[in-house]
Structures are given as structure tokens and as C-alpha cells.
Amino acid sequence: MDAPVRGRRLRDLRNAFTLPPGLAPANFPATPAGSSATELATQLARRIDPTFTWNDLAWLRSLTRLPIVLKGVLTAEDAARAAEAGVVAIVVSNHGGRHLDPSVTAIGALPEVISAVAGRCEVLLDGGIRRGTDVLVALALGARAVLVGRPVL
């Protein structure tokens, strides 16, 4: 569910971001080195199916006994529906706010998501974590764990 449609990364466009010479994304081997942000977005858009529905989650659940973790939940309604669908965990995430600038923050959505799942599945938080105190706040609000990427980078 997380970022089903590629957003306009205005910072990348403004800074004329391109891949450095000799570097191509491993997950998009057809994308040549030196590709611009717009070209990268086009490549990604071709690989993302924006039509994901709750029926697709039920279909996936029917195929596997593996635990399913659903990322990109930001509302109580979606959280409750995900818990009812049998996911083992929800990741509250707005994809770092990079795709939908004015979207709700992950930490802002966390309390209502935790309340909606009412212990039926784990709730993790991803996004907006810059320092240890951010982790402590998320845990104090009820997150089971916090995912970090940008602070490590």
C-alpha cells in the first residue's frame, strides 16, 4: 500500500538529480546511469500497480501461510480492515512524506491506528525518525518497533 503511485519529488527535480556515471539501480537494470529524476520516476511507474485493493490482500492471504506485513497504513479505517484481513503487522508510513508532501505524518497517524487495531496485530512506525528521542516517542505512543533507514544513511 505504501506509495502506490510515484510522487513528484520536487527536491530531486529542483536539484536536477541524476544517477552518477557508472551507477544504475539494481532493481531497475534497464535504467541507464545518468538517468534524471523524471526518467527514474517513469521507470518506477511502469513497475508499480496502483490498483491494489483489499481483494488483492485476500488473494495473497489465500496463497500463503507466511506472515503478511502491510506498509503504508495511515487511517483507523485501513488499520481495522488490515487487522480483520489477518495481517500480522501494520507499518504506519507515509513513505517519508516524499510522495505526498501534505499527507498526514506517520507519528500523527500512529495513535488512531493503534486504537483501531486494538491489539489484533503489531503496529510498527516508519518515517520521520531522525534521532533516538523520535524512537522513544513512537514507542511511548504504542508502536511495537520503529523502522529506521535515513538516520543510518
Q: What are 66-124's pLDDT values in tens digits? A: 999 999 899 999 999 999 999 999 999 987 665 556 678 899 999 999 999 999 999 99
pLDDT at 24 exceeding the cut of 90? no
pLDDT at residue 138, rounded to an integer = 96
Between the CA of residue 115 and those of 53, 61, 80, 88, what are the distances in Å? 23, 24, 9, 16
Looking at domain 54-147, which CATH architecture does it have? Alpha-Beta Barrel (3.20)
First to last CA, the chain: 24
Determine contact, residues 107/141, Cβ cutoff 8 Å. yes
Determine contact, residues 28/43, Cβ cutoff 8 Å. yes
Q: Which residues are catalytic?
A: 95
| More confidently predicted of 30 and 131 | 131
Domain residue ranges in the chain: 10-45, 54-147
| More confidently predicted of 144 and 21 | 144
**Average per-residue pLDDT in the chain?**
83
